A and B are shown apart, each in its own frame.
Chain A
């Protein structure tokens, strides 16, 4: 058996503690690098979800990357794949580089007109791989005078400039430029890991921003087109409506029974067409926020009774009962009577009649806790869970609704929701499923 002397034992213990401490330090050091990289990625992620406009997104990205890694320059170019032109999206500079650029008096247009003339940039694009150089002027060869870029390089102590292709689906959408005051090989572990991680994050964030921009532009074009077409069609339909109404009213003299019958059908169809076009136009205007509501105090009861009265014939045609329950007294509220009564209430009752092949419809108007509750309960086709998700969205008619109502545009409930939202009310639907009927509710604030 071996025995240690007291000093030897103390030395051994001390050496063990030192070894453990150093080992823990190394582990913590690696964790610190990971944490810093994650922190930077988290910042970029936050930026990407909070910013949707490409220029603003690019600016926030380059500012964050530059300040986190203390680089002299961080820039993003976008590329036009047709003419191979690099357009600067956003650049961030260190103070000393910005000062040097300002002093040089050169134009700060950093665009590159054709990368075919630039060996350094061209190789990044053809090989789809990053590249670095000691010369900052390799980026702007033939664009900015060499002496000018040399002055910037000297002032900012730039020793390395690296270019990273921003790739989405195998296609290069842009270029990330980083300039630093050290040799490329001296990049620390944190810097290497960060760059490797964030290049892809930047590409994805920018791709998302551009997609959003394209989508918004496409939506605007579509809205404009809808407006134009709707106005044109509305004009033609209005002329037809007047012509058929004139025929039926005898403005053109006596017409045969066949012509009269045909005119009646044509007039009814034309009026449906007008309603459809008006719905599309209203939806478009509501989305654009160009509809102004005429908010005034009014009693909702007459609006409900009028809408019921208008549907009596259609209900009778189906041998359907319209059961109405209305609480006593007035239902005073502040709002746009034409939109609430003329659209929302009328639309809900009209839908109930159209989507109920047989059975009955219960319409109620009650007061509850300072609110007006209007409800239409039918025994019609009901609503599937899937349809419930799209019920109040634009063009969001039910999957099978067209079978029951061939004139469904899918805009009625969307408009109703927009109107009710503008009145700070609530509109919703309940149904136990297909074939089990449905109940539509509207809740509005009662005037005190």
Chain B
């Protein structure tokens, strides 16, 4: 699992703690995200960062600004290892 797959999975797991299993359903509707047994995801796209942005945007559209903060907090440890340019815009 690459870093952005881990980031997307962590975001969904954190959203699941707040909104329940619907977090996986919503993630499955994001283009480029492939959900594996409501347990992890893989990103199938040439631009993984954009897919993560779309995922964060999806939650933000549904639940407001607070959901973006939840996403950022959830992956704080993971994005700390990335170069600034590698961090998806929505998480900067």
| Residues of A participating in the B interface, judged by any CB pair closer than 8 Å | 18, 21-22, 25-26, 28-29, 31-32, 35-36, 70, 157, 159, 180-182, 186, 188-190
A21: chain B residues at CB < 8 Å are: 62-64
B73 to chain A: closest CB distance in Å? Answer: 4
A18: chain B residues at CB < 8 Å are: 64
Residue B66 is within 8 A (CB to CB) of chain A in the complex: yes
A26 to B76, Cβ gap below 8 A?
Answer: no
User: CA–CA, A17 to B16, complex, Å?
Assistant: 21
B77 to A181, Cβ gap below 8 A?
Answer: yes
Name the residue of chain B whose CB is nearest to the CB of A69: B77
User: CA–CA, A355 to B42, complex, Å?
Assistant: 80
What are 27 contact pairs spanning A and B, CB under 8 A? A18-B64, A21-B62, A21-B64, A22-B63, A25-B19, A25-B64, A25-B66, A25-B67, A26-B64, A28-B19, A29-B18, A29-B66, A29-B70, A32-B14, A32-B17, A35-B17, A36-B17, A157-B80, A157-B81, A181-B77, A181-B80, A181-B81, A182-B76, A182-B77, A188-B73, A188-B76, A189-B73
User: CA–CA, A186 to B64, complex, Å?
Assistant: 22
A70 to B18, Cβ gap below 8 A?
Answer: no
Encoded as 1 (CB less than 8 Å from any A CB) or 0, chain B from 44 to 86 comes to 0000000000000000001111110010010011001100000
A158 to chain B: closest CB distance in Å? Answer: 10
Prevailing SS type, chain B contact patch: helix
B81 to A22, Cβ gap below 8 A?
Answer: no
B17 to A190, Cβ gap below 8 A?
Answer: no
User: CA–CA, A70 to B70, complex, Å?
Assistant: 17
Contacts between chains A and B (CB distance < 8 A), count: 45
11 additional contacts (CB under 8 A) given A28-B19, A36-B17? A21-B63, A22-B65, A25-B18, A26-B64, A26-B66, A28-B18, A29-B70, A32-B18, A157-B80, A186-B76, A190-B73
B73: chain A residues at CB < 8 Å are: 188-190
User: CA–CA, A31 to B62, complex, Å?
Assistant: 19
| Residues of B participating in the A interface, judged by any CB pair closer than 8 Å | 14, 17-19, 62-67, 70, 73, 76-77, 80-81
B63 to A70, Cβ gap below 8 A?
Answer: no
A36: chain B residues at CB < 8 Å are: 17
B24 to chain A: closest CB distance in Å? Answer: 16
**What 5 A-B pairs are tightest by C-beta distance, nearest first?**
A22-B64, A188-B73, A25-B63, A32-B17, A181-B80
User: CA–CA, A31 to B67, complex, Å?
Assistant: 14
Determine which residue in B19, B70, B77 has the highest number of CB atoms from chain A within 10 A of its CB, and name it.
B77
User: CA–CA, A29 to B68, complex, Å?
Assistant: 11
B80 to A159, Cβ gap below 8 A?
Answer: yes
User: CA–CA, A188 to B80, complex, Å?
Assistant: 13
B14: chain A residues at CB < 8 Å are: 32
B75 to chain A: closest CB distance in Å? Answer: 10
A180: chain B residues at CB < 8 Å are: 77
B81: chain A residues at CB < 8 Å are: 157, 181
Name the residue of chain B whose CB is nearest to the CB of A25: B63
A394 to chain B: closest CB distance in Å? Answer: 51
Name the residue of chain B whose CB is nearest to the CB of A19: B64
B70: chain A residues at CB < 8 Å are: 29
Name the residue of chain B whose CB is nearest to the CB of A71: B77
Name the residue of chain B whose CB is nearest to the CB of A158: B80
A26: chain B residues at CB < 8 Å are: 64, 66
User: CA–CA, A29 to B19, complex, Å?
Assistant: 8
B65: chain A residues at CB < 8 Å are: 22
User: CA–CA, A36 to B18, complex, Å?
Assistant: 11
B64: chain A residues at CB < 8 Å are: 18, 21-22, 25-26
B77: chain A residues at CB < 8 Å are: 70, 180-182
Name the residue of chain A whose CB is nearest to the CB of B16: A32
User: CA–CA, A35 to B16, complex, Å?
Assistant: 13
A157: chain B residues at CB < 8 Å are: 80-81
B18: chain A residues at CB < 8 Å are: 25, 28-29, 31-32
User: CA–CA, A157 to B77, complex, Å?
Assistant: 10
Determine which residue in A25, A35, A180 has the highest number of CB atoms from chain B within 10 A of its CB, and name it.
A25
B11 to chain A: closest CB distance in Å? Answer: 13
Name the residue of chain A whose CB is nearest to the CB of B14: A32
Determine which residue in A28, A29, A32, A159 has the highest number of CB atoms from chain B within 10 A of its CB, and name it.
A29
User: CA–CA, A28 to B19, complex, Å?
Assistant: 7
Name the residue of chain A whose CB is nearest to the CB of B77: A70
B47 to chain A: closest CB distance in Å? Answer: 25
